[in-house]
Amino acid sequence: LAVNPAQICDRTINLTPEQQHYLHRVLRLNQGDKFIAMDGRGHWWLAVLEAQETGLIASITEEIAVNRELGVEVTLMAALPKGNGFDEVVRQATELGVASIVPVTSDRTLLKPSAQKVDRWKRITAEAAEQSERQFVPTILEPISFDLAVKDCGQKYRYICVARGDNRHLWDCLISLEPPQPPLVRGEQELEPPQPPLVRGEQEFDPAFVGAVPPCPPPGGELSIVIAIGPEGGWTDGEVKRAIEFGFEPVSLGSRILRAVTAPIVALSLVGAAFEK
Helix (H, G, I), strand (E, B) or coil at 237: helix
d(Cα 145, Cα 150) in Å, to the nearest integer?
Answer: 9
Q: x-or-dash pattern for ligand SAH, window 246-265, by CB under 6 A?
A: ------xxx-xxx-x--x--
Instruction: Give the full edge-to-edge strand order of the sheet including 12-13.
Output: 8-9, 12-13, 55-63, 44-52, 34-38
Nearer to ligand SAH, 75 or 252 (CB): 252
Does the protein bind ligand SAH through residue 233 (CB under 6 A)?
yes
Q: How many chain residues are in contact with ligand SAH, going by CB under 6 A?
A: 18
d(Cα 136, Cα 126) in Å, to the nearest integer?
Answer: 9
Q: What is the DSSP letter of 102?
A: E
Does the protein bind ligand SAH through residue 78 (CB under 6 A)?
no
Question: Looking at 49, 76, 149, 162, which residue binds ligand SAH (CB under 6 A)?
Answer: 162
Does the protein bind ligand SAH through residue 150 (CB under 6 A)?
no
Does the protein bind ligand SAH through residue 227 (CB under 6 A)?
no
Q: Which residues of 76-113 are buried (b: 16+ CB within 10 A; e: fewer)?
A: bbbbbbeeebbbebbbbbbbbbbbbbbbbbbbebeeeb
Q: What are phi and psi of 62, to 5 degrees?
A: -160, 155
Nearer to ligand SAH, 38 or 226 (CB): 226
Does the protein bind ligand SAH through residue 164 (CB under 6 A)?
yes
37-66: contacts with ligand SAH (CB under 6 A): none
**Positions in the binding site for ligand SAH (CB under 6 A):** 161-164, 229-230, 232-235, 252-254, 256-258, 260, 263
